[in-house]
Structure 1
Amino acid sequence: MLDRWTMPLTHRPLERLAHRLTGRATPDQVTFIAFLIGISALPLLAWEYYGLALVAVVLNRLGDGLDGALARVSGRSSEAGGFLDIGLDFVFYAAVVLGFALANPAENALAAALLLFASIGTGTSFLAFAIAAKQQAIERPHFPNKAFYYLEGLTEGTETVVALMLFCLFPAHFTTLAVVFAVACLITTATRLWGGYWTLRRHKAGAQGTA
């Protein structure tokens, strides 16, 4: 929901940083290093080092934006890089939720399971539409720098980052926060399935009408 406003704000500072890295690292290397930092949040959360886990989350998200900026400024954008980026993103998101379940299974496990269930819907609807949109050559006007069609929803990247940070800042309230975010994810799944289905239907009808 907020990505169309937050992404333009981060492009310029990330591109300045990317210019400094040009020739020193590849976008895929940045992606993988950011993932390794982010995945360290799993054991940190399990051991209840919430402050360090928050640092890992923030650095991972910084790297997630930096790899795309580096790809653009260095002319090394690729579908392979976009695939690696989004694939590792979803593994990282799930790892953070799992970390909270391991930290306090008695209190957190059910809420974590609900959130993982809900996030499967957001992820699959997001990626499935991206594949169909690519095949149908549907443009993505709001997110021209993305490697795939960015299907919007109530819980996008910005909301997910905020949720992960709130989990780390207020671990005692993880259950409540996770349930609230899970409900938002379920709403996102429903709207994406509905909107994606009718977008593809209208696009096909329009293409047939002009044939």
Structure 2
Amino acid sequence: MFDIQLRSVKDRMFGPCCQYVPASITPLHVTGSAYVVGLLSCWYANRSSVSLSLAFWLLNRALDCLDGALARHRKSASDLGGFLDLLGDFMVYSLLPISIAIGQDATPRCWEAVAVLEAAFHVNNFILFYVAAVAEKREGKGGPKAKELTSVMMRPALIEGMESGVIFTLMLAFPSYIEAWSWLMAGLVIIGIVQRTLWVTAALR
């Protein structure tokens, strides 16, 4: 919900750090490091190590902010970097609730909550990528609604990156409440799905 507003804040926070990053380290190296660190967070959540899983998760979030800031600082932003960044985020986001549930020896009811959350992620990502594909197709044809579709694609929803990061942090800090966190996040994502579906439906008419 606040990702667009926070983008400039992140750049102001991480921009000054870019000058200390050696030239031999590229934004893609930082993206890869963020992915590895995110997997380590999942691994330690699976092992019920709250402190280590939380520490690696926070480091993952910091590196995730740094790679984009570094790419913009060096004017080397690329489609490949954006793709790998999203791929790493989606994989870590999907694995974290599962890893926490395994670490907590979750009950069947807890697994139901995690399953609904994962399904909500799946549907939400489908909407985002379908809109992106249609926007590109219409822009390529010079369609009159290309600009509107791009606008819809960027429209905020109730839960985005920042809100997801906060809830995942709470999941890792208080893993015994994984069932409650999963239901909460699933509900928020579903509301976002409804919001985006309404916007997309209006744009595609």
TM-score by length of 1: 0.84
C-alpha displacement at 1:59, in angstroms? Answer: 0.9
User: Which is further off, 124-133 or 42-51?
Assistant: 124-133
Question: What residue number does 2:101 align with?
Answer: 101
C-alpha displacement at 1:178, in angstroms? Answer: 1.1
Which sections of structure 2, spanning at least 5 residues, go unmatched? 140-145
C-alpha displacement at 1:118, in angstroms? Answer: 1.0
Between the aligned partners of 1:16 and 1:133, the Cα distance in structure 2 is 35
- Aligned structure 1 segments of 4 or more residues deviating by more than 4 angstroms: 137-140
Between the aligned partners of 1:134 and 1:23, the Cα distance in structure 2 is 34
Q: Does 1:167 align with 2:176?
A: no
Q: Does 1:5 align with 2:9?
A: no
Q: Which one-letter code corresponds to 1:108 in the other structure?
A: C
Question: What residue number does 2:184 align with?
Answer: 180
Of all paired residues, the percent bearing the same amino acid is 26
- The equivalences for 1:56-205 within 5 A come to 56-103=56-103, 104-106=105-107, 108-137=110-139, 138=146, 150-201=154-205
Q: How many residues align?
A: 194
Question: What residue number does 1:146 align with?
Answer: none
Q: Deviations over 1:18-68 (max 9, x none)?
A: 232251311111101110001112221111001211111111111111111
CA RMSD in angstroms, aligned pairs only: 1.9
Between the aligned partners of 2:27 and 2:75, the Cα distance in structure 1 is 10
Question: What residue number does 2:47 align with?
Answer: 47
C-alpha displacement at 1:200, in angstroms? Answer: 4.0
When residues 3 and 24 of structure 1 are mapped into structure 2, their CA distance, relative to the original with a 3 A threshold, is: same
Question: What residue number does 1:208 align with?
Answer: none
C-alpha displacement at 1:74, in angstroms? Answer: 0.9
Between the aligned partners of 2:191 and 2:161, the Cα distance in structure 1 is 15
Between the aligned partners of 2:132 and 2:66, the Cα distance in structure 1 is 22
Q: Which one-letter code corresponds to 2:79 in the other structure?
A: E
Which sections of structure 1, spanning at least 5 residues, go unmatched? 144-148, 202-211
